[in-house]
Amino acid sequence: MKRPPAPPAGCGPHPLDPAPLPGHPRVGFLKAFVDRPNVEVGDYTYYDDPAGPQHFLERCVLHHYDFLGDRLVIGRFCAIAPGVTFIMNGANHAMTGLSTYPFNIFGNGWEEGFDMGSIAAGLRGDTIIGNDVWIGHEAMLMPGVTVGDGAIIAARAVVAGPVPAYAIVAGNPARVVRMRFTEAEIEALSAIRWWDWDAAKITRNLALIRGNDVDALRRAR
Question: Buried (b) or exposed (e) across 106-125, using 16+ Cβ within 10 A?
Answer: eeeeeeeeeeeeebeeeeee
137 within 8 A of 83, measured Cβ to Cβ: yes
Quick check: is 93 catalytic?
yes
Q: H-helix or E-strand containing 86? A: strand 85-87
Report how far residue 170's alpha carbon sits from residue 155's, in angstroms, rounded to the nearest whole number: 7
Q: H-helix or E-strand containing 162? A: none
Catalytic site residue from 24, 55, 93, 137: 93
Known catalytic residues are: 93
